[in-house]
């Protein structure tokens, strides 16, 4: 199937009753994301769902990825203020916007993006973490208080320093990075239910064993996290370097959306904040 360059899977895990994660896969828009909601009593899944819908709408309106993520923060705040979900609900997000040979990644919180090359060998493989967690332990590591070996098993590793919907923040700091696709590359987006349960070395070993089978890689990663206890919801997307057919489809979709916006200048797919009405 020439247009399918990704695989995605989500699992509630072994110790949770509901799944507060949301993933979005819109290959024609060149957009993929994973959002990890929090808030309990279904509020977390509402928050992560709002994040996904808002970012998709903003991207379709032609807005940059970083602004789209910022708008998702406002949307979660407005929803909670309107009685949708619950006060204090929030969500992390990691999003990939891929256009032709280039891509951009934006994130808030501790959901991650990794880069993997399917043609690397046992003695030369490298799993590269593209994002830096907005977390307390990451701050400790960057300050030199702990070393890299202490990150994964630190007792306070789940404390994040910001999320979308945080009542303490008028705006969030949206971190971004850009890259250029190279042959045989994959990008892995995941909630912390994966990387909190298995180490980066275990992620790399699982990807290596899957070879070039992107669906197998997703399935095996989730199973490995479940075998490790599955303490949290587990959600991940693996996206491969787009081939010429995918790139052509994305380009056509982008042109069509641009024409729609020009033909209907008053059309805006996002719900304005109360302060904007």
Residue 1 lies in a domain: no
Residue 179 lies in a domain: yes
Tokens of 123: 């003695």
What is the pLDDT, as a whole number, of residue 55?
Answer: 98
Give the rounded distance of the alpha carbon of 57 from its chain centre.
16
Residue 119 lies in a domain: yes
| Separation between Cα atoms, residue 141 and residue 146, nearest integer Å | 5
Evaluate whether 10 touches 52 at the Cβ level (below 8 Å): no
Q: Give the chain's end-to-end CA distance (angstroms, integer).
A: 45
DSSP 135: B
Residue 34 lies in a domain: yes
Residue 42 lies in a domain: yes
What is the pLDDT, as a whole number, of residue 275?
Answer: 36
Under DSSP, is residue 18 helix (H, G, I), strand (E, B) or coil? coil
- Give the CA angle between residues 63, 129, 120 to the nearest 5°: 115
Residue 217 lies in a domain: yes
Tell if the pTM clears 0.85, that is, is over it.
Answer: yes
Residue 177 lies in a domain: yes
What is the pLDDT, as a whole number, of residue 254?
Answer: 65
What is the pLDDT, as a whole number, of residue 157?
Answer: 80
User: Which run of H or of E encompasses 201?
Assistant: helix 200-210
Residue 96 lies in a domain: yes
For helices 43-60 and 65-81, give the axis angle rounded to 10 degrees.
Answer: 140
Maximum CA pair distance of the chain? Answer: 58
Domain count of the fold of the chain: 1
| Separation between Cα atoms, residue 190 and residue 272, nearest integer Å | 29
**CATH code assigned at 42:** 3.60.40.10
What is the pLDDT, as a whole number, of residue 277?
Answer: 33
| Separation between Cα atoms, residue 194 and residue 179, nearest integer Å | 24
Per residue in 210-266, pLDDT (tens digit) is 999 999 999 999 999 999 999 999 999 999 998 755 665 566 666 666 676 667 665
Q: Which domain holds residue 157?
A: 6-276
**Tens place of pLDDT per residue across the chain (277 aa):** 445 799 999 999 999 999 999 999 999 999 999 999 998 767 999 999 999 999 999 999 999 999 999 999 999 999 999 999 988 999 999 999 999 899 999 999 999 999 999 886 555 568 999 999 999 998 898 888 988 888 878 888 889 999 999 999 999 999 999 999 999 999 999 999 999 999 999 999 999 999 999 999 999 999 999 999 999 999 999 999 987 556 655 666 666 666 766 676 655 554 444 434 3
What is the pLDDT, as a whole number, of residue 267?
Answer: 55
Evaluate whether 31 touches 96 at the Cβ level (below 8 Å): yes
């Amino acid at each position: 199937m020439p247009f399918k360059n990704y695989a995605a899977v989500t699992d509630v895990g072994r110790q949770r009753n509901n799944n507060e994660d949301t993933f979005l896969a819109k290959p024609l828009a060149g957009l993929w994301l994973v959002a990890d909601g929090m808030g309990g009593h279904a509020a977390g899944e509402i928050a992560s769902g709002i994040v996904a819908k808002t970012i998709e709408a903003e991207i379709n309106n032609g807005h940059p990825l970083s602004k789209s993520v910022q708008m998702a923060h406002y949307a979660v705040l407005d929803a909670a203020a309107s009685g949708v979900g619950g006060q204090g609900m929030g969500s992390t997000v990691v999003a990939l916007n891929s256009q032709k040979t280039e891509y951009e990644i934006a994130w808030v919180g501790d959901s991650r993006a990794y880069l993997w090359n399917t043609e690397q060998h046992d003695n030369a493989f490298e799993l590269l973490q593209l994002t830096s967690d907005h977390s307390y332990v990451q701050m400790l590591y960057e300050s030199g208080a702990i070393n890299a070996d202490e990150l994964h098993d630190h007792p306070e590793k789940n404390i994040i320093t910001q999320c979308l919907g945080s009542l303490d923040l008028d705006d969030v700091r949206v971190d971004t990075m850009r890259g250029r696709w190279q042959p045989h590359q994959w990008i892995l987006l995941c909630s912390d239910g994966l990387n909190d349960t298995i180490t980066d070395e275990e992620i790399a070993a699982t990807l290596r064993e899957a070879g070039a089978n992107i669906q197998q890689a997703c399935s095996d990663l989730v199973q490995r996290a479940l075998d490790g206890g599955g303490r949290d919801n587990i959600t991940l997307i693996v996206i491969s370097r787009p081939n010429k057919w995918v790139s052509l489809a994305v380009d056509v979709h982008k042109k069509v959306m641009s024409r729609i916006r020009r033909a209907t200048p008053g059309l805006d797919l996002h719900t304005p904040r109360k302060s904007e009405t």
